[in-house]
Amino acid sequence: MIDIKLIRENPELVKENIKKKFQNHKLELVDKVIELDKKSREATLEGDTLRAKRNQISDKIGMLMREGKKEEAEKIKLEVKEINEKLVEIEKLEDEYKQEITNIMMKIPNIMHESVPIGKDDSENVEVRKYGEPLVPNYEIPYHAEIMESFSGIDLDSAREVAGNGFYYLTGNIARLHSALLSYARDFMINKGFTYAIPPFMIRSDVVTGVMSFEEMDAMMYKIEGEDLYLIGTSEHSMIGKFKGKILDSEKMPYTMTSYSPCFRKEKGSHGIEERGVYRIHQFEKQEMIVVCEPEESYEWYDKMWSYTVELFRSLDIPVRTLECCSGDLADLKSKSVDVEAWSPRQKKYFEVGSCSNLTDAQARRLGIRIKNKKENKTYFAHTLNNTVIAPPRMLIAFLENNYNEDGSVNIPKVLRPYMGGIDKLRK
pLDDT tens-place string over residues 48-59: 999 898 888 888
pLDDT band at 270 (very low <50, low <70, confident <90, very high): low
Whole-structure pTM value: 0.89
Contacts for 118-123: CB closer than 8 Å, 24+ residues apart: 118/20, 118/326, 118/327, 118/328, 119/326, 119/327, 119/328, 119/329, 120/22, 120/326, 120/328, 121/326, 121/328, 121/329, 122/325, 122/326, 122/329
Q: How many angstroms separate the CA atoms of 396 and 170, rounded?
A: 11
> Position 208: which residue type?
V
Specify the pLDDT at position 230: 95
Half-sphere CA count of 20, side-chain side, radius 13 A: 23
What pLDDT was estimated at residue 175?
97
- Per residue in 387-418, pLDDT (tens digit) is 999 998 889 999 999 999 999 999 999 999 99
User: Which helix (H) or strand (E) covers residue 196, if one does?
Assistant: strand 195-197
Residue pLDDT, tens place only, 15-31: 999 999 999 999 999 99
Q: Residue ranges per domain, the chain? A: 4-105, 122-426
Average pLDDT over residues 117-143: 96
How many C-beta atoms surround the C-beta of residue 369 within 10 A? Answer: 25
CATH superfamily of 122-426: Bira Bifunctional Protein; Domain 2 (3.30.930.10)
Separation between Cα atoms, residue 73 and residue 312, nearest integer Å: 78
Q: What is the CATH number of domain 4-105?
A: 1.10.287.40
Query: In the prediction, which pLDDT does 213 show?
Result: 78
Identity of the residue numbered 6: L
Indicate the pLDDT class of residue 273, thresholds 50, 70 and 90. low
- Give the pLDDT confidence score for residue 332 in this predicted structure: 94
Distance between CA 276 and CA 284 in Å, rounded? 16
Residue 132 has pLDDT above 70, yes or no: yes
Question: How far is 374 from 333, CA to CA, in rounded Å?
Answer: 29
